[in-house]
């Protein structure tokens, strides 16, 4: 059952009724009173007219008068002589003074018990010096209504019905306008709960309902993105593990079944197994770190960090490897302090990852690390004269598992997670990272962190 629709519709209708019913009642009351007063006035007038008329006519014409009254009007007439005897009656049953009609009084109401008709009556004396001296009674049915009164009443009824219909229509439209989108959203929410994210609610209004529909659409989109990125992530992870695992399986099987030519080859196999196990270890380590970083509560030990120091310790770690490849590693540190609020160990990790890449992807030339202050920010660049990255690949290198040349990167021991970790760590410490590269010429990574202000500790 569409309850909101009925609840809302019911409330609005009830409200309308609360206003319309008393209004109708009051109007009806006013109208009835007005009509009744009108009948009274008319009856009295007619009684006076007839009294005058009666005073002037012949006794023999009384029957004629009564007859015309009976046939031509809805009113009735009763004529009494001086002694109170009825000499003419156009149609009042059981007319008897003193019983249900008071002997005295000039007006009042009277009920004809035979046919149940209610009357208003008026009583007038006929002057005693005239031929037909006595009294005359005119009876008008109380439910009598004049032509204009009927028109007024019909207009009232019509406008009442009109108002009611209008209220119905209005209620229906308003309730429907409110309940339809709510129902649609409820259905959409159920579908989403069941995992069906192909939800596209129409946004037709700019009110709260419209923005709620909009939010639900966005939620569905967001969940869809999340679901697909999670699927991609899992397929990437399993893919990354498949290669080292197949190596492990293959070479350990060869060793187990003795399928090697000599001792040298056996040693080779063992080294491969060792390397692949190490690679898997790195992969697990990096994955674990990355997943922790993506959580809200990644612990950072914030302190005042001299960026220069972090760059220097990172450089020391890759120096040997650089020298081995014949690449010069230089540091250019600007005069003055480059203090930022960060986790020193993590800043060093950022430099280490960038420098390891620089060494890996550079064949000849040099690697340069620069640290300087620019405005209120501390900037650091790591540039190399290496193989560079083509512009088409550049936007993706910070993504997890993304490697420009899969096989080369693998041979160099990369997991494809280094830059993803760098980006996470940079952003966790309120920094930005930016890359520029020219294919075949070299690559420059630029880091920027807000400088520590006085009082930061």
Q: Which residues lie near Mg ion (CB under 5 A)?
A: 357, 414, 418
Q: Per rule CB under 6 A, is residue 384 in the interface with ligand ADP? A: yes
Helix (H) or strand (E) holding 366: strand 366-374
Q: Is 418 an interacting residue with respect to ligand ADP (CB under 6 A)?
A: yes
Per CB under 6 A, does 387 bind ligand ADP? yes
Nearer to ligand ADP, 136 or 417 (CB): 417
Shortest gap between Cβ of 278 and Mg ion (angstroms)? 15
Cβ-contact 251, 273 below 8 angstroms: yes
> By CB under 6 A, is residue 322 in contact with ligand ADP?
no
Minimal distance in Å, beta carbon 309 to ligand ADP?
23
C-beta closer to Mg ion: residue 244 or 418: 418
Does 414 contact ligand ADP by CB under 6 A? yes
Position closest to ligand ADP via CB: 414
Which CB, 255 or 404, lies closer to ligand ADP? 404
The pairing of strands 117-126 and 134-141 is: antiparallel
133 token code pair:
């001296």
From 386, 379, 380, select the one nearest 356 (Cα to Cα).
386
Nearer to ligand ADP, 75 or 357 (CB): 357
Q: Which of ligand ADP, Mg ion, none sits in contact with 403, Cβ below 5 to 8 A by type?
A: ligand ADP
Is 351 a residue that touches ligand ADP (CB under 6 A)?
A: no
Closest contact distance (angstroms) between CB of 406 and ligand ADP is 8
Contact indicator for 344, 305 with CB cutoff of 8 Å: yes
Instruction: List Cβ<8 Å contacts ≥24 apart for 450-454.
Output: 450/340, 450/341, 450/376, 450/377, 450/378, 451/338, 451/339, 451/340, 451/373, 451/376, 451/377, 451/378, 452/304, 452/339, 452/340, 452/341
CA distance 142 to 120: 6
* Sole residue written with tokens 């420059």: 444
Residue pair 205/184 in contact (Cβ under 8 Å)? The answer is no
- Backbone φ and ψ of 178, nearest 5°: -85, -40
Closer Cβ to ligand ADP, 149 or 290, answer by number: 290
Give the Cα separation of 159 and 153 in Å (integer). 10
Residue 453 beta carbon to ligand ADP: minimum distance, rounded to whole angstroms: 32
- Choose between 81 and 289: whose C-beta lies nearer to ligand ADP: 289
Residue 62 binds: one of Mg ion, ligand ADP, none (C-beta under 5 to 8 A by kind): none
Q: Which candidate, 287, 298, 440, places its Cα nearest to that of 363? A: 440
**Interface residue with ligand ADP, options 175, 306, 443, 448 (CB under 6 A):** 443
Q: How far is the CB of 437 from ligand ADP (least distance, A)?
A: 7
Write out the residues near ligand ADP by the rule CB under 6 A. Answer: 357-358, 361, 384, 386-389, 397, 402-405, 409, 414-420, 443
């Amino acid at each position: 059952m569409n309850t909101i629709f009925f609840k809302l519709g019911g409330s609005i209708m009830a409200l309308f009724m609360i206003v319309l019913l008393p209004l109708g009642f009051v109007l009806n009351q006013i109208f009835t009173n007005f009509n009744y007063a009108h009948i009274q006035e008319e009856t009295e007038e007619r009684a006076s007219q007839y009294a005058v008329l009666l005073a002037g006519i012949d006794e023999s014409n009384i029957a004629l008068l009564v007859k015309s009254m009976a046939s031509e009007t809805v009113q009735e007439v009763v004529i009494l002589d001086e002694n109170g005897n009825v000499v003419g009656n156009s149609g009042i049953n059981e007319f008897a003074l003193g019983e249900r009609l008071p002997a005295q009084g000039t007006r009042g109401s009277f009920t004809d018990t035979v046919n149940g008709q209610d009357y208003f009556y008026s009583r007038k004396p006929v002057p005693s010096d005239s031929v037909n001296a006595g009294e005359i009674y005119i009876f008008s049915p109380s439910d009598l209504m004049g032509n204009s009164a009927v028109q007024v009443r019909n207009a009232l009824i019509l406008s009442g019905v009109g108002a009611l219909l209008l209220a119905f229509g209005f209620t229906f439209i308003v309730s429907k306008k409110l309940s339809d989108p709510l129902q649609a959203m409820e259905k959409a929410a159920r579908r989403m709960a069941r995992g069906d994210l192909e939800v596209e609610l129409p946004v037709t209004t700019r009110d709260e309902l419209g923005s709620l529909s909009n939010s639900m659409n966005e939620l569905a989109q967001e969940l869809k993105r999340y679901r697909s990125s999670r699927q991609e992530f899992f397929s990437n992870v399993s893919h990354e593990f498949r290669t080292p695992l197949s190596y492990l399986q293959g070479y350990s099987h060869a060793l187990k079944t003795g399928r090697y030519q000599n001792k040298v080859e056996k040693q080779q196999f063992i080294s491969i197994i060792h390397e692949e196990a190490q690679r898997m270890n790195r992969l697990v380590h990096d994955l674990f770190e990355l997943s922790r970083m993506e959580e809200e509560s990644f612990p950072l030990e914030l302190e005042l960090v001299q960026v220069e120091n972090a760059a220097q310790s990172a450089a020391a770690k890759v120096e040997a490897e650089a020298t081995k490849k014949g690449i010069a590693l230089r540091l250019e540190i600007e005069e003055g302090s480059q203090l930022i609020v960060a986790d020193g160990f993590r800043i060093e990790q950022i430099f280490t990852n960038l420098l390891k890449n620089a060494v890996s992807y550079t064949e000849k030339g040099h690697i340069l690390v620069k640290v300087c202050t620019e405005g209120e920010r501390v900037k650091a660049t790591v540039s190399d004269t290496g193989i560079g990255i083509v512009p088409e690949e550049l936007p993706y290198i910070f993504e997890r598992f993304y490697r420009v040349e899969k096989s080369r990167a693998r041979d160099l021991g990369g997991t494809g997670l280094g830059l993803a970790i760098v980006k996470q760590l940079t952003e966790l410490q309120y920094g930005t990272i930016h890359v520029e590269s020219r294919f075949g010429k070299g690559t420059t990574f630029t880091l920027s962190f807000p400088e520590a202000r006085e009082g930061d500790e």
